[in-house]
Structure 1
């Protein structure tokens, strides 16, 4: 099965590089927002085959309720579906994200920007800081379950299949791995992973927190999310909330992870909070045994 899956991914790789550069800013972005309590605007970066309106949308609203000014976009849209992002090659999406961060900084007048990303968005947060020439504009980076060191081709194929099944069930939409440049970039040995992990990942002045779950079924093993460098705090959600069993997609909806992210943004890693039940397991994505 693994050989067949890898072969299938290679067979469609030519489609993955088809350019279709565009992004969509969240219409709810409020550039007049200012917060004395949290002066750094927070840019939210969604995951693979997602958008500004799903994945981190609940976390974004929750952060707004905590007096943060948040901004999001749908990046990496391809010709497969103009409503779904996180599809084009990592380097192409990174340019869109960099431009968006610069625009947020310019329009808000902020001196620094914080980033929160989930899955591919977490990877992109690390990637744009390293290659986007904007590290000096960034302060705190919170990466939730980033595929930092790559995902096995079978894992990412099962993840894409699960997304396809769930979206067909919920919205009548259909997605495949064909044309998904990010899918290839984020696999073990993929172009994006190879470039990010070549040399030091974290840039001077950036404070990075990486949050992962031991029950993540897409990152396998889950510790491949972590970066072991100075300036990085790696956190298992289970070390804070032992009964948390969240999987990959629900990590973006897990309130325990939200609170860990809040602690990172506020620079209060020791702040205690009440742990709650994990979100339901994601439909359609097999769990590794």
Structure 2
């Protein structure tokens, strides 16, 4: 928790210093009354990573995107009722059903024809998996997957991930793993069932614009190349392709201002803008 708070504080301070004099019109954060604009017609649904929640992973990126005028939505998925502060542990297929339902709710609430999906880590995998497997590809405009374990990974050890979460959440992760294990972890290892489902045949679905972003220094999704989807219609990019001196690691990618800019450019490529590079956390 301390690591994420420090990363978020640094990112927000940098964003504030770099903000233009006239800010973009505010959108909404989990606001059912928010209505998409002509400039941003698709609400953005954010999908957190393994062991995280909707309010502790991509929440600061969500605020940043909302400040650009987007309607944004997030919800914790894959949590056991006994441990609501630990999301993403349940089987990938079960979580995908939850996410599909949430996307449907967002579409109904906002009246939009499509949403965009932005996910980090397991959430990045889910953004690809849900679009392929849940029969709603026609309701998805863009997918932006940050450090997804597309082709499987060892996570460099789940205990390391739990340690990085820190504080009370680390304790909750440990208790949840003891009580229920981590079916999602088994699904996401190399040759795991969810990985096989996703990569059996094309990942990219017709009509959906895909961007996969990862860091050359990601220490949990390894080898880092395995995040990418090498198919037509998919943009694959390392953070270092744009910001070569950014040492950002896996968790830091959710809080890295360079990643935030790459995400907003991917959501609106017609208005992609150059930006000054900073340096994210290598952790």
Normalising by structure 2, we get a TM-score of 0.84
Structure 2 SS opposite 1:114? strand
TM-fit CA distance, 1:82: 1.9
- Find the residue that maps to 1:174 and give its secondary structure: helix
| Shift, 1:254, TM fit | 0.6
Q: CA deviation at 1:281?
A: 3.5
Q: Quick one: distance in 1 between partners of 2:69 and 2:244?
A: 28
CA–CA distance in structure 1, aligned partners of residues 251 and 270 of structure 2: 26
Structure 1 position 79, deviation (Å) = 4.6
Provide Cα deviations, 1:166-204, integer angstroms capped at 9, x if missing partner: 234xx6733134421111111111111111111111111
Match of 1:267 in 2: 269
Pick one of 113, 133, 136 that aligns with 2:135.
133
Counterpart among 162, 172, 175 of residue 173 in structure 2:
175
Structure 1 258/79 Cα, relative in aligned 2: closer, same or farther at 3 Å? Answer: same
Contact 1:145–1:213 (CA<8 Å) still a contact in 2? yes
Give yes or no for contact 2:77–2:87 (8 Å, CA) kept in 1. yes
Please report how far the alpha carbon of residue 78 of structure 1 lies from its aligned counterpart in structure 2 after TM superposition: 1.4
In the alignment, structure 2 segments of 5+ residues that lack a partner are: 1-28
1:248 aligned to which of 238, 247, 250: 250
Contact 1:212-1:222 at 8 Å conserved across structures? yes
Alignment of 1:69-218 (within 5 A): 69-79=71-81, 81-152=83-154, 155-163=156-164, 166-168=166-168, 173-176=171-174, 177-178=177-178, 179-218=181-220
Aligned partners of 1:83 and 1:172: how far apart in 2?
Answer: 10
Find the aligned partners of 1:156 and 1:118 in 2 and give their Cα distance. 18
Moved more, 121-130 or 79-88: 79-88
**More moved, 176-185 vs 86-95:** 176-185
Matches of 2:97 and 2:167 in 1, distance apart? 28
How many residue pairs get aligned? The number is 251
* Deviation per residue, 1:18-69 (Å, 9 max, x gap): xxxxxxxxxx511211223211000000000100001100000011111111
Q: Quick one: structure 1 residues 148 and 49, their matched pair in 2 at CA, closer, same or farther if it must change by over 3 Å?
A: same
> Deviation of residue 163 (structure 1)?
3.9
Mapped partners of 1:160, 1:274: distance in 2: 30
Find the counterpart in structure 2 of residue 10 from structure 1: none
Report if aligned partners of 2:86, 2:173 keep a CA contact under 8 Å in 1: no
Q: Is the contact between residue 260 and residue 269 of structure 1 (CA under 8 Å) also seen in structure 2?
A: no
Q: Once structures 1 and 2 are overlaid, which stretch shifts more, 83-92 or 73-82?
A: 73-82
Aligned to 1:32: 33
Instruction: Report the Cα distance in structure 2 between the residues aligned to 1:96 and 1:49, rounded to whole angstroms.
Output: 16
8 Å Cα contact 1:163/1:175 also seen in 2 = no
Distance in 2, Cα, partners of 1:148 & 1:37: 31
Between the aligned partners of 2:64 and 2:185, the Cα distance in structure 1 is 29
Gaps of 5+ in 1: 1-27, 283-289
Q: Is the 8 A contact 1:148 1:193 kept in 2?
A: yes
Does the aligned pair in 2 maintain the 1:142–1:264 contact within 8 Å? yes
Q: Tell me by how many angstroms 1:152 deviates.
A: 2.1
